[in-house]
Chain A
Amino acid sequence: MEPVFDSKAAPKEAVVRPMVPEIFRVEKYRKETHDTYTLELKSASGTGEHRFKAGQFNMLYKFGVGEAAISISGDPSLPNPLIHTIRTVGSVTKAMSKLKVGDTIGVRGPFGSCWPVQEAVGNDVVIIAGGIGLAPLRPVIYQVLAERRKYGKVFLFYGTRTPDDLLYRGELEKWRARFDMEVLVTVDRASSDWHGNVGVVTTLLKKLVLDSDNTVAMICGPEIMMRFVAMDLIKKEMTLDRIYVSMERNMKCGIGLCGHCQYGPTFICKDGPVYTYDQVIELLARREI
């Protein structure tokens, strides 16, 4: 008995074996902070375009150890090399931290939904990141700055635990020096040699005046941080469909088949990771979903 196919949902034949990684080579390795590093990867076979959209992720495979879902943090207009910024938290991310230039790594992807970079054209853009959450948002910053005239005001609010956890310090300085972008950084705690803001990222939003009907907000960080930030933006009269967040769950396949990343009615690997806030507000309010 042959299965009946639904012609409307023709299976994607281009990705024949999406569970098999393609081999890439580490071109550059940069230590960002005490626990975070950036890998620049080039396909070992030298083929393929590896185009991606801001917000998408790859499944990176360390030989013999395992896979981890890691956002692409480079510029979508320069997809080669592929750039990933990774924080060491467990076995795979630790093993990857020991990679050296020339070593090989497996890549599957890109997977998932993307940030509304196109939809935001003509609007003010508010980017709010917590910790490693800046990595998946960096492609947005690159794209917005590349076509700066198409957007209204651009804000970046960034919070980390301590000054030592700040990612992309050189770039942060460059962005901060621009007149067409407002960059505010805060840390949860700091020693006396820190002259910047101290406090959670929401403290940065206090003075923010929004043109709520003409603003798009993109938030990435711990769930609790995203909730509080979104609540503040809603108080500033932003509608839920203008607020975007990126969600995280255990992932084993990245292609909607393993079931691990389910989030309410959705799969984060294919319906997310980027969601509009109206899709997740109910779910975020519940524990253990």
Chain B
Amino acid sequence: MLEPVVEIEQQVTFKQEQLQTLFTVLQKRDYQLVGPTIRDGAIAYDELNSTADLPVGWTDEQDAGRYRLASRKDAAYFGYVVGPHSWKKFLYPPVLSLWKANLQKGEVVVAPEAAEAPKYALIGVRSCELHAIAIQDKIFLQGEYTDPVYKARREKAFIVAVNCVTTGGTCFCVSMKTGPKATCGFDLALTEVIDGQRHYFVAESGSVLGAEVLAEITKQQATAEEQQDAKDLMEKAAKKMGRQLDTTGIYELLYRNVECARWENVAGRCLTCTNCTMVCPTCFCMTVVDTTDLTGQNAERTRHWDSCFTLDFSYIHGGSIRNSPKSRYRQWMTHKLAAWQDQFGTSGCVGCGRCITWCPVGIDITEEARAIRAGDKSDKATMAIKEH
């Protein structure tokens, strides 16, 4: 869980039309805006030019293995939950050239790639996603070795969080203590309120820069009533979580159940398609690919997102270590909910629900955890019987 870094000072409000002012202010400060927009029947994250690019009046209906866009009765800008993309797409690019090398008179000369990091303003970051970014910060910035590309992009990024007032069918941030309200890790946090004829934002800043930007849009204090309305909306959302995950002793539960019948059961359904890892905002695995051009004189190494669900992932000469789908699903889930804590001192899951929604066969991590827990209890029961 994130701890607040900056005291949230005060809340201000601005009318919905002024959202465009925020966009303009950020653009004037040389930010490339990225955020939600409709692509191929889903709300994806991509470059934004103006508020017209936002999914105005759209929402998403989600369930295990199911995602559908639906129109809303209002003109909410942020009236959806999360889609197949996550912000890691911008901070930790899916494909990246690490360096190029060429042969000069038979000598290898290596040149690191030194592209200028883009300056992104992330628009519409959900609370669970702030936590996912904080988790990736731990991975890429706080270990013995850091990722310079992530670091440069991350330090430049301006984060506009949006509190969740709509929840999805596969969300479980309340269980993971990662939402629905953004508490820290943002420059600005907005709550979108639509109340009859009134459509406005309640805003707060989480950094000095955020406060500066906000001051350029509005100085209008939020009334007690407006603040209460925003708060009520979030509290209502927190009660409507689509899923729940009981995290009590989850670390011990998974380590204790390295061998349990449920892994076979899930392996019977899992297609090892890698979707769950690609959509997950915290999954960080990557591979490197070495290539040469046709002349054989120029070589390049690129980095690509990778997934523990592939056979290649664990390949060593003689064969893959994790040959069975069972062992791969076990690796993924045990990593998320247990090993991650050993490695980075945090859960690897923020409860965004993406892996549930985008699994073609609807495998649900909360359901699997429940089943393992149920099996675990019966194990204890059988042990107790044996002992007597």
Contact = CB atoms under 8 A, between A and B. Distances in A.
Nearest to B130: A1
Interface string A254-270: 01111110101111001
Interface residues of A, number: 49
Interface in B306-364: 306, 308, 313-318, 321-324, 326-327, 331, 335, 338-339, 342-343
B186 interface: yes
A265 B343 contact: yes
**Which among A1, A3, A266 has the greatest number of chain B C-beta atoms within 10 A?**
A1
A122 interface: no
Nearest to B338: A265
A15 B110 contact: no
Nearest to B144: A12
Interface stretch (B49-57, B67-75, B96-104): B96-104
Given A9-B142, A256-B145, A262 B335 contact: yes
Interface in A1-23: 1-6, 9, 11-12, 15-21, 23
Contact of B258 (A9, A64, A104, A286): A286
B121 to A, nearest CB: 10
A101 interface: no
B187 interface: yes
Interface in B274-310: 284-288, 290-292, 296, 299, 301, 303, 306, 308
Interface of B: 5, 98-99, 101, 103, 107-110, 112, 137, 139-148, 151, 154-155, 157-159, 185-187, 206-207, 209-210, 258-259, 284-288, 290-292, 296, 299, 301, 303, 306, 308, 313-318, 321-324, 326-327, 331, 335, 338-339, 342-343
13 contacts: A1-B158, A2-B207, A5-B142, A15-B145, A17-B148, A64-B291, A257-B143, A258-B288, A259-B285, A259-B306, A260-B306, A262-B331, A288-B322
The 10 closest A-B pairs by CB, nearest first: A259-B285, A288-B327, A265-B342, A64-B292, A255-B145, A89-B317, A11-B146, A64-B299, A66-B290, A104-B108
Interface of A: 1-6, 9, 11-12, 15-21, 23, 44, 61, 63-67, 89-90, 104, 106, 248-250, 252-253, 255-260, 262, 264-267, 270, 286-289
